[in-house]
């Protein structure tokens, strides 16, 4: 009997090994397989950020695209990368599983990076060089040349989206939440995960950008492709050591089931007693009923035809999930709905972030960047951005958390407080960017707008990189914490995808604003705020507009944060729960 109990204690309850048997704690999971997963994520960050932070200089300098068009190409690429996380998450939850998703999509990204290396190497895939001083006009890239470039970029975006949707989840699968030691290791894993992301970004904006500018883009992108290939091989080496968890089905399907059932029964009246609503979830896993979004409760009304006998025999009938849903499933959908106001008010941060890898890099390319005989690549200015992230995290962990814990008795700021700090710092960052750009333009006007390198130090841009970078350190960790801890357990993969869509929509919003401002402010006599050549525009006006939008957004965020009610200590109740003594509805529960 003792041997049986000891053997059972070595089994991870909800995980399988590569043969499909219950996972043995001593032979699977832990830090070694988790480290293999961290490696593939670092290579993804190296490739994606190495391409994104310096792509705008390639588009303007080699492909001869206008400044605003180049910025939009970059933001659309980054936005699509994060938007495709939803597709990757859906495929992982519904068909592939996390392991296959993490295995397949990096291969797609490696192919895209290899194609990008080829497209930047072959002269036929880029327009000929130009030199206005020798009367050699600049020719914009042809549709065919841009088509090859877009194909490479969006293969990379597809690979990035699929990988990012599952890599953190598959990494956390290697630790058992029910074991205190492994639960602590899981917490450490997420810290190391963000560290490896930052490390990959740091290598991208320094070593990789230098290789692109000094050695050749094709060499740099080729290194990215090869490093991803090596990471994939190393990842497969851990196949026998990984823990695998069965998919619980797509949360998106569950949400549509609740909405569909509620719409079909929209004319039905809710019972007075909540206990008459359908519930099939085991007692210990139930989420108490709440009053908010009461129209969704109609999905739990039991009506004729809601149950079907699957075999047409004497077996118990099964509920049709498109006709009737349990109270717990409905409450999980409500929990996700309560996240949406905070989700919407964090999008603008990533719009300001987008300027750091587009227009800010263009600003840097026109300024004095030399240190002795060494010329700092314009894209490498984002190293101050990454340094600000790492420095802010270190100060927060080593200084702020101990002080806050001693003063307030809490282990650091709450997730909403961190998001608020991030929004404030990004607003200040945009104001600093506007002032720096006004100074740069005054110098350009004084010495001549066609001057290739303006006599103004690139270090004037450090405040905007530092402020927005520090803001990311707070808002990224705050968002990740908020969307994981405030979402139902069955929808944590989707909540992570929901968080990543804020990045996607922030980049798309940047593209939209650039297009609108370009068309509204340009006329026959002026190219407007966003001229084809940055020295002829009024970029500081665009930065001031983003400052104003960020300020308004912060006010709205504070209202949403006050409206949002965090769960009580039991971890289930988000809003006012109906009276447990009589089970009755409180107020008009038929309205959302």
Q: 180-184, 475-479, 532-536: which has the minimum mean pLDDT?
A: 180-184
Please list the residues that pair with 24 across neighbouring strands: 11
Pure H helices in 178-216: 180-203, 209-214
Name which residue leads in pLDDT, 541 or 176.
541
Domains detected in the chain: 10-247 (1.20.1250.20), 251-335 (no CATH), 337-580 (1.20.1250.20)
Residue 546 confidence (pLDDT) above 90: yes
Can you tell me the mean pLDDT for 440-463? 88
Query: Where is pLDDT greater, at 477 or 529?
Result: 529
Length of the chain: 592
Give the mean pLDDT of 335-343: 89
For the chain, count helices (H), then strands (E): 18, 8
How far is it, in rounded angstroms, from Cα 173 to Cα 99?
10
3-state secondary structure of 545: helix
Which of 527, 533, 376, 375 lies closest to 450 in space, CA to CA?
533
Structure tokens at 119: 């497209």
User: From CA 2, how far away is CA 345, in angstroms rounded?
Assistant: 55
User: Of 88-97, 441-450, 577-586, where does mean pLDDT reach its minimum?
Assistant: 577-586
Which residue shows structure tokens 């823990």? 243
In terms of average pLDDT, the best of 194-208, 429-443, 489-503 is: 429-443
Cα separation of the two ends of the chain: 55
Window from 94-98, 454-458, 500-504 with minimum mean pLDDT:
94-98
Nearest to 248 by CA among 224, 281, 274, 213: 281
Quick one: pLDDT at residue 150? 93
pLDDT per residue as tens digits for the range 141-162: 889 999 999 999 999 999 998 8
Distances (CA, A) of 472 to 73, 194, 294, 415, 480: 22, 12, 36, 13, 12
Looking at the predicted structure, is the pLDDT value of residue 582 above 60?
no
Q: How many CB atoms lie within 10 A of CB 571?
A: 10
- Compute CA distances 375 → 21, 371, 424, whole Å: 57, 6, 33
Question: What pLDDT, on a 0 to 100 scale, did the predictor assign at position 5?
Answer: 47
Cβ neighbours, 10 Å, residue 39: 19
- Please give the pLDDT value at position 566: 55
Supply the pLDDT for residue 556: 95
Note the Cα 435 to chain centre separation in Å.
Answer: 29
Confidence of residue 108 (pLDDT cuts 50, 70, 90): very high
What are the φ/ψ torsions at residue 302 (nearest 5 degrees)?
-85, 125
Does pLDDT of 396 surpass 90? no
The C-alpha atoms of residue 449 and residue 428 are separated, in whole angstroms, by 28
**How many Å apart are CA 216 and CA 222, to the nearest integer?**
10
pLDDT band at 191 (very low <50, low <70, confident <90, very high): low
Per DSSP, the three-state class of 217 is helix
Phi and psi angles of residue 319, each rounded to the nearest 5 degrees, phi first: -65, 135
The mean of the pLDDT values for the chain is: 82
Supply the pLDDT for residue 248: 67
Q: What is the pLDDT of residues 280-299, one digit of tens each?
A: 877 777 778 887 788 888 88
Q: What percent of the chain has pLDDT over 70?
A: 90
Question: Residue for token digits 């607003």?
Answer: 427
Helix (H) or strand (E) holding 455: strand 454-457
Please check whether residue 586 is in contact with residue 578, taking contact to mean a CB–CB distance below 8 angstroms: yes
Is the confidence at residue 567, as pLDDT, over 90?
Answer: no
Number of Cβ within a 10 Å radius of residue 73? 22
3-state per-residue secondary structure call for 237-277: HCCCCCCECCCCCCHHHHHHHHHHHHHHCCCCCCCCEHHHC
* 3-class state of residue 289 by DSSP: coil
Cβ pair 322, 263 in contact under 8 A:
no
Q: Is the pLDDT of residue 315 over 70?
A: no
Distance from chain centroid for Cα 305:
42
When mean pLDDT is compared across 259-273, 280-294, 311-325, 393-407, the lowest value belongs to 311-325
DSSP assignment of 121-147: H-GGGSPPP-BGGGTB---PPPHHHHH
Residue with tokens 């492994």: 182
List the one residue out of 494, 589, 503 whose CA is nearest residue 90. Answer: 494
What confidence tier does 314 reach under pLDDT thresholds 50, 70, 90?
Answer: low
Q: How far apart are CA 542 and CA 528, in angstroms?
A: 10
* 471: nearest Cα among 543, 422, 420, 530: 422
Q: Assign 570 a pLDDT band (cuts: 50, 70, 90).
A: very low
Q: Is it the case that residue 425 has pLDDT exceeding 90?
A: yes
Give pLDDT tens digits for 36-57.
888 888 888 888 888 888 888 8
Whether 7 shows a pLDDT value over 70: the answer reads no
Whether residue 225 is predicted with pLDDT greater than 80 in this model: the reply is: yes
Of 3 and 77, the structure prediction assigns the larger pLDDT to 77
Query: Residue 132 has what pLDDT?
Result: 63
DSSP string for 24-74? ETTTS-SHHHHHHHHHHHHHHHHHHHHHHHHHHHHHHHTS---HHHHHHHH
Which whole number is the average pLDDT over 520-528? 82
What percent of the chain is modeled with pLDDT above 90?
19
* Cβ contacts of 394 within 8 Å, gap of 6 or more: none
The pLDDT-based confidence of 344 (bands split at 50, 70, 90) is very high
pTM: 0.77
380-391: average pLDDT: 82
**Most confident stretch, 123-132, 377-386, 466-475:** 466-475
pLDDT at 572: 39
Residue 11, strand partner residues: 24
């Amino acid at each position: 009997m003792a041997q049986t109990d000891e053997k059972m204690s070595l089994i991870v309850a909800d995980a399988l090994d590569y043969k499909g048997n219950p996972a043995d704690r001593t032979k699977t999971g832990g830090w070694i397989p988790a480290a293999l997963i961290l490696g593939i994520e670092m290579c993804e960050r190296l490739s994606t950020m190495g391409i994104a932070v310096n792509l705008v200089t390639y588009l303007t300098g080699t492909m001869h695209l206008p400044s605003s068009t180049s910025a939009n190409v970059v933001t659309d690429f980054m936005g699509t990368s994060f938007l495709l996380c939803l597709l990757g998450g859906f495929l992982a939850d519904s068909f592939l599983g996390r392991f296959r998703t993490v295995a397949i999509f990096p291969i797609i990204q490696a192919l895209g990076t290899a194609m990008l290396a080829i497209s930047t190497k072959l002269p036929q895939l880029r327009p000929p060089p130009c030199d206005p001083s020798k009367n050699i006009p600049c020719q914009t890239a042809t549709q065919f040349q841009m088509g090859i470039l877009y194909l490479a970029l969006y293969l990379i975006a597809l690979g990035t989206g699929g990988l990012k949707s599952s890599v953190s989840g598959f990494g956390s699968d290697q630790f058992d939440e029910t074991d205190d030691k492994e639960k602590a290791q899981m917490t450490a894993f997420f810290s190391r995960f963000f560290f490896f992301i930052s490390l990959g970004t740091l290598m991208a904006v320094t070593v990789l950008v230098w290789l692109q500018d000094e050695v050749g883009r094709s060499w740099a992108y080729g290194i990215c492709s090869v490093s991803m290939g090596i990471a994939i091989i190393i990842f497969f080496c851990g196949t026998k050591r990984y823990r695998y968890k069965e998919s619980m089905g797509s949360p998106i399907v569950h949400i549509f089931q609740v909405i569909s059932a509620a719409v079909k029964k929209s004319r039905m009246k809710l019972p007075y007693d909540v206990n008459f609503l359908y519930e099939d979830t085991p007692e210990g896993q139930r989420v108490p009923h709440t009053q908010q979004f009461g129209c969704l409760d109609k999905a739990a009304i039991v009506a004729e035809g809601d149950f079907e006998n699957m075999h047409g025999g004497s077996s118990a009938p099964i509920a049709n999930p498109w006709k009737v849903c349990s109270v717990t499933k409905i409450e999980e959908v409500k929990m996700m709905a309560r996240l949406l106001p905070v989700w919407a008010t964090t999008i603008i941060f990533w719009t300001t972030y987008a300027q750091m890898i587009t227009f800010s890099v263009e600003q840097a390319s026109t300024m004095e960047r030399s240190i002795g005989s060494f010329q700092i690549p314009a894209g490498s200015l984002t190293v101050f951005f990454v340094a600000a992230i790492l420095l802010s995290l270190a100060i927060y962990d080593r200084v702020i958390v101990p002080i806050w814990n001693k003063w307030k008795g809490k282990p650091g700021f709450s997730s909403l407080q961190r998001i608020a700090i991030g929004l404030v710092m990004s607003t200040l960052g945009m104001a600093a960017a506007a002032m720096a750009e006004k100074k740069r333009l005054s110098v350009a006007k004084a010495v001549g707008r066609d001057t290739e390198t303006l006599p103004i130090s690139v270090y004037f841009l450090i405040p905007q990189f530092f402020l927005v970078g520090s803001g990311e350190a707070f808002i990224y960790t705050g968002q990740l914490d908020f969307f994981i801890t405030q979402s139902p357990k069955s929808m944590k993969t989707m909540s992570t995808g929901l968080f990543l869509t804020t990045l996607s929509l922030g980049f798309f919003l940047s593209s939209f604003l650039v297009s609108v401002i370009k068309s509204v402010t340009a006329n026959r006599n002026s190219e407007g705020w966003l001229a084809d050549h940055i020295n002829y525009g009024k970029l500081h006006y665009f930065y001031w507009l983003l400052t104003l939008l960020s300020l308004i957004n912060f006010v709205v965020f504070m209202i949403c944060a006050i409206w949002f009610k965090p769960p009580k200590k039991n971890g289930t109740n988000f809003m006012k729960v109906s009276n447990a003594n009589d089970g009755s509805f409180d107020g008009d529960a038929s309205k959302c």
